[in-house]
Amino acid sequence: MSNFKWTFYTRGGRYVNYDYCAADGTMRQQWKHAVVIVCVVFIILNISIYSNTIAWRDLNMNNIIYEDSIKFRKLLEQDQFSEKFHPVGTKRRFPQCIIFGVRKCGTRALLEFIGLHPQVQNAEHEMHFFDEDEKYNLGLEWYRKHMPYSYPEQITVEKSPRYFITDKVPERISMMNSTIKLIVVLRNPTTRVLSDYTQVYYNKLAKGVTFQKIEELVIDPYTGEINTDYKAVRISIYHHHFERWLRVFKREQILIVDGDNLILDPVSEIKHVESFLGLEHRITQDNFYFNKTRGFFCKKQGSMEKCLGATKGRPHPGTHPSVIRKLNKFFKPHNEKLFKMINRTFKWS
């Protein structure tokens, strides 16, 4: 009778003993079992080592890619690098036209639509250069470097709706370019108040925050009259803000776009803009299609179609008709002052 003892050590430092007895006739079977176990342990060890190697390699590669992306992004932000990667003959230029308001009147739609013209280059983001001191103190060269590249025959357009209501902006823009062309989009002031409220309402709703009903904001609870402390109402008193701009710029330097008509008939309003900017009439009905789901016109360029973001065209929360009537009555004398100031009327009931 002969006995054999095999000891196998696992990766965790543990051991397993196997005894084999030749005399009992089971040695061959136990030997087979031992071989199987050895193979299994070997495979597990190799898989583990391979997995760890791959994980470390992927981790290192991710770190390398992440670090390289940061370096590349920083490199892109350097003007001397970007100067090498733009079409020959283009450069960053100060805007020759600024859309300076009004919030919730269609400024984004106007910028997107006029951007269909081959001779127009739009600033991608609202700069807020002239209304935010922190940015303004960075200087005009900083502002220029944030404009898009353009050819000499193209017009650069920037839009920041807050310019309209900020006291110091007209003088600041004039100091940059006293002959600049300016565009302001106006719409029915009552509709603008509702749209302004709607944007804030949905923003609060997305954050799970309860927001006051519009009646509670628009109507003064003590007098029952329109609450002029509500910012949305103050913005819609157009003549109060427009007067500031006319003290600095000539009336012919400012084009007023009908925001209500821009929704219904964008082509006719864009033609006014093209004429104002001295551009050929290149934007036609073929550049638009009516989106029945969204309920407004979207732009089309060749086979490419694009609508404004999901935040545009949202339904207004229910408003009692009496509130609408109060707003219309309140704005009527203010509208008349505006019409006289700009020598133009709008069909605002």
Active-site annotation, residues: 104
- 21 among annotated binding-site residues: no
Strand intervals (E) in 172-278: 181-186, 254-258
- 73 among annotated binding-site residues: no
Looking at residue 151, its amino acid is Y
- 187 among annotated binding-site residues: yes
Name the β-bridge partners of 124.
Answer: none
- 316 among annotated binding-site residues: yes
Query: Could you report how far apart the first and last alpha carbons of the chain are, in Å?
Result: 113
For the CA atoms of 49, 55, 61, 66, what is the dihedral angle to 10 degrees? Answer: -160
- 25 among annotated binding-site residues: no
- 107 among annotated binding-site residues: yes
- 314 among annotated binding-site residues: yes
Q: Which two tokens stand for residue 63?
A: 């770190």
- 97 among annotated binding-site residues: no
Q: Which two tokens stand for residue 70?
A: 């940061």
From residue 153, alpha-carbon distances to 70, 111, 272, 277 in Å are: 35, 19, 19, 12
- 13 among annotated binding-site residues: no
- 104 among annotated binding-site residues: yes
From residue 140, alpha-carbon distances to 145, 146, 169, 225, 345 in Å are: 9, 10, 14, 44, 37
Measured distance CA(237)–CA(243) in Å, rounded: 11
* Residues flagged as binding site: 104-108, 187, 195, 312-316
* Residues flagged as binding site for 3'-phosphoadenylyl sulfate: 104-108, 187, 195, 312-316
